[in-house]
Structure 1
Amino acid sequence: MSVESTETNPLRALSPQDLRAHAAEALTRARERSVALTSVDDEDLVRQHSKLMSPLVWDLAHIGSQEELWLVRDVGGREALRPDIDDIYDAFQHARADRPALPLLGPEEARKYVREVREKSFDILETVPLQGRRLTEDAFAFGMITQHEQQHDETMLATHQLRKGDPVLHAPAPPSSRSGPLPAEVFVPGGAFTMGTSAEPWALDNERPAHEVAVEAFFIDTAPVTCGAYAEFLDSGGYEDPRWWSERGWAYRSEHGIDAPRFWKREQDGWWRTRFGVYEKVPAAEPVVHVSFHEAEAYAAWAGRRLPTEPEWEKAARFDPATGRSRRFPWGDEEPTPDHANLGQRHLRPAEVGAYPAGVSPLGVHQLIGDVWEWTSSGFEAYPGFAAFPYKEYSEVFFGGDYRILRGGSFGTDAAAIRGTFRNWDHPIRRQIFSGFRCARDARPSEVA
């Protein structure tokens, strides 16, 4: 069984001219989003809205610095524009809490810098050979920088959620449910499937290589856990009962006085939340968001279930029992469209469960891509045969740390930065990210055909 022999990869079917156009469009879309997220008052740009996050102006200039390092200097072999700021915008040298004290580029200087870098990048894209070197094969470096920018755009979106004051971001509401009542869970047969990829041109190193993994039969929630279901856990006293929590989770909850998902508040008529400056009643039919791994794990224990492992999540998302192969996305190999998933900041919230029937997996699992990042029970480890590329600091230095894997992307993730093999990771205490979850359980012998 092999992904490479069956998976359709649209990028590899493109002519060199069309591949350059595709990369240029992806870079442009990312930059348009970066501009939108930083088109706020200069005071908002330079302020640190939370010690968990950088000032928006740091993220903007960091985007330009990474692009300069990889596309202008490495791929293009051009003279450095601003070598004097390399250390300032090295994410490994300065913790987020310390970045406001650095001699950062001001708003106008940062905007000018990223424009100049992009002009040179586009010139390089027009001329550099897209073969003969692994970094440029299939325009990989341009895809890597696109994904990097989109990842920081999602980080900046999370910063906006932490910002105080009137709303500055606006978007239409996502679609309502189009599927009617869904079954609570879906059966996933046991056996081997192909996990990861060796064929996806813009896949990052931790997604590689494709390898066979066997899982036991299990059941997984048809959709992410909703706000309404999570409120039942809250209202039953779930945050006051240590039975449902791991020792670490309970200690963290107790020390920090956590009594609900972040941004939630109990009012006389129920639960309310703050969302990008809007105070609103919590919508029962939407997936819960802004919960930590510890909270997700506690809910699952209360519900008599557990979190899925990373292999279980990927099998539910990619495995096609009719063909035995693994798809690029739950719906197939074609790129995401607005009918498939809630991605790209088109909406500023998760969509109701059942809103994307076109995105369902062959096994019948809904909304595996978009809406909310989904916590799994797995730590962040290398796949067998892993090789760091193009630098160890993207993945390798994080293996084996205090992280849990999240899968599937959120409403703030762009289509260029997500696929069925994409792996995200974060500390189990994180709640400012757009994180939710779904539950799983082992299949009983009587339930296995």
Structure 2
Amino acid sequence: MSIAETAAVEPQATEHLRMELARRLERARDRTLALTDYDDGELVRQHSSLMSPLVWDLAHVGSQEELWLVRDVGGRPPLRCEIDEMYDAFQHPRSTRPALPLLSPAESRRYIAEVRDKALDILDRTPLEGKPLLERGFAFGMIVQHEQQHAETMLATHQIRDGERILTETPLPDTRTRRSLPDEVLVPSGPFTMGTSVEPWALDNERPAHTVALPAYFIDTTPVTSGAYEQFIAGGGYDDPSWWHPDGWQHRNEVGLRTPKYWHRADGQWMRKRFGAVEPVPADEPVQHVCWYEADAYARWAGRRLPTEAEWEKAARFDPASGRSRRFPWGDAEPSAEDANLGGTALRAAPAGSYPDGESPLGVRQLIGDVWEWVASDFQPYPGFTVFPYEEYSQVFFGSDYKVLRGGSWATDPAAARATFRNWDYPIRRQVFAGFRTARDAHPAETA
């Protein structure tokens, strides 16, 4: 039984929901500890001004858990109120966090363990209904998602750091099929339901469900591959301003963009750094570590464009046979290992065309997992948006400064990988495990 299904089965599902919440909390914690289980000197070091020291992330997940579960939901007294401001992401930008009197790795581990003991006790004693924060365990699900999002951020820190790889990767199954995929598929014109009003752990920016009508368009069946992106480089894509957004061209010149992050040329071959190892760039994998401006320039060079956020979501969720929007491209069931590359253990994206079981009804693959996908849209609220449970989760970021990413990456946990989930970042960011796919308008003759 999925978390979503528990909404329809009361009260017998309550105990199942408690067990599932506890399991997901522990899974998130196991991942946090695994990503911080190495030399203390490396944990306290800042590997890039774009990233926090890993020890900050380690204690921060406990601080947020204490604030929301121990103090707010549980009504318990503070454990460490003197550290609240130090682990408030809005008080201290990442570049300044190494100068703070952070808890040591050992202190951080003791602190988050104490918080977790109290949180699990509160979970056992708290009704999972009534108040909005408690309904279907929302506050606990929010903390699960928060910790898993920080695990993905910590993986980005591991990727950006110098030195040998310390993480173990799990081989991916080869799920490609022999049948040839078309390059693109037609998404028919008409309305669909975007967002959600029923997903129990959906965050405020995913709500409410609303109807969006779109003209017909074509969208790539897979994300753009590294091999295709190499053609953009070879074709002078980085040297022709006509392909670039004016702000992107200025950024390209200021920082010297010439390739995706972590790529370099050696002996006539494209190579990449991946978690401390240097290896040939796999031509069949989705390109990743590109910023929005690079994705937009490639799309223009290819005679196409980035899909809008609504176009991306319709391709991922809309089922023309029933007319409804699914939770995931493959249906309403929680992700399985056959549906998508999620969870972070692979340390890489799967080849384009993988995961036929995760294909959408319209024939689009890898919409969930593998790489976050930049879309054309700015991060804006949906019609009827209401802040919940705090303004700083979404509202303060709305506007033209941020572009939207959809679908999750190989590093994303399934708890934060539903088809309504919205991520956002500055259009210059490249440390994210992000790629893209392209779209184009459909001509009337193509839809007849």
Matched, 1:84 2:79: no
Q: Which moved more, 1:173-182 or 1:244-253?
A: 173-182
Gaps of 5+ in 1: 1-6
1:115-126 aligned at under 5 Å gives the runs 115-126=113-124
Contact 1:197 1:209 (C-alpha < 8 Å) held by counterparts: yes
Identity of aligned residues (%): 64
Output the CA distance in 1 between the equivalents of 2:333 and 2:267: 47
Please name the residue that 1:28 is paired with: 26
Matched, 1:243 2:234: no
TM-score, normalised to structure 1, is 0.97
Q: Secondary structure at the match of 1:219?
A: strand
Q: Offset of 1:9 from its aligned partner?
A: 2.8
Q: Offset of 1:172 from its aligned partner?
A: 2.1
Contact 1:177 1:353 (C-alpha < 8 Å) held by counterparts: no
Tell me the amino acid that sits aligned with residue 308 of structure 1. Answer: P
Contact 2:3 2:17 (C-alpha < 8 Å) held by counterparts: no
Tell me the amino acid that sits aligned with residue 362 of structure 2. Answer: L
Gaps of 5+ in 2: none
Please name the residue that 1:100 is paired with: 98
Please name the residue that 2:346 is paired with: 347
Q: Secondary structure at the match of 2:377?
A: coil
Q: Secondary structure at the match of 1:104?
A: coil
Tell me the amino acid that sits aligned with residue 155 of structure 2. Answer: L
- Give a deviation string over 1:83-115, Cα, whole Å, max 9, x none: 000000000010100000001000000000000
Tell me the amino acid that sits aligned with residue 162 of structure 1. Answer: I
Q: Offset of 1:174 from its aligned partner?
A: 1.9
Please name the residue that 2:254 is paired with: 255
Contact 1:336 1:415 (C-alpha < 8 Å) held by counterparts: yes
Equivalences, count: 443
Contact 2:168 2:345 (C-alpha < 8 Å) held by counterparts: no
Q: 1:387 to 1:350 in 2, by over 3 A?
A: same
1:180-329 aligned at under 5 Å gives the runs 180=178, 181-329=180-328
**Bigger relative contact order, structure 1 or 2, given CA contacts below 8 A and separation 6+?**
1
Q: Offset of 1:8 from its aligned partner?
A: 9.8
- Give a deviation string over 1:20-57, Cα, whole Å, max 9, x none: 00100110110010000000100110000000000000
Tell me the amino acid that sits aligned with residue 210 of structure 1. Answer: A
Q: Offset of 1:243 from its aligned partner?
A: 1.4
Coordinate RMSD, CA, aligned: 1.1
Please name the residue that 1:10 is paired with: 5
Please name the residue that 1:414 is paired with: 413
Contact 2:184 2:221 (C-alpha < 8 Å) held by counterparts: yes
- Give a deviation string over 1:235-274, Cα, whole Å, max 9, x none: 1111111111111111101110110000000112310000
Contact 2:6 2:14 (C-alpha < 8 Å) held by counterparts: no
- Give a deviation string over 1:351-376, Cα, whole Å, max 9, x none: 00122000000000000000000000
Contact 1:345 1:414 (C-alpha < 8 Å) held by counterparts: yes
- Give a deviation string over 1:204-253, Cα, whole Å, max 9, x none: 00000000001110000000000000001011111111111111111101
Matched, 1:387 2:382: no
Output the CA distance in 2 between the equivalents of 1:287 and 1:173: 17
Q: Secondary structure at the match of 1:305?
A: coil
Output the CA distance in 2 between the equivalents of 1:34 and 1:66: 14
Contact 1:8 1:333 (C-alpha < 8 Å) held by counterparts: no
Output the CA distance in 1 between the equivalents of 2:281 and 2:8: 45
Tell me the amino acid that sits aligned with residue 166 of structure 2. Answer: V
Matched, 1:71 2:69: yes
Tell me the amino acid that sits aligned with residue 210 of structure 2. Answer: H
TM-score, normalised to structure 2, is 0.98
Contact 1:46 1:57 (C-alpha < 8 Å) held by counterparts: yes
Tell me the amino acid that sits aligned with residue 413 of structure 2. Answer: D
Please name the residue that 1:357 is paired with: 356
Contact 2:189 2:216 (C-alpha < 8 Å) held by counterparts: yes
Q: 1:448 to 1:295 in 2, by over 3 A?
A: same
Q: 1:400 to 1:169 in 2, by over 3 A?
A: same
Please name the residue that 2:336 is paired with: 337
Of 141, 144, 159, the residue aligned with 2:142 is 144
Output the CA distance in 2 between the equivalents of 1:101 and 1:27: 30
Q: Secondary structure at the match of 2:106?
A: helix
Q: Offset of 1:401 from its aligned partner?
A: 4.1
Moved over 3 A (4+): none
Q: Secondary structure at the match of 2:391?
A: coil
Contact 1:219 1:440 (C-alpha < 8 Å) held by counterparts: yes
Output the CA distance in 2 between the equivalents of 1:185 and 1:354: 12
Contact 1:65 1:89 (C-alpha < 8 Å) held by counterparts: yes
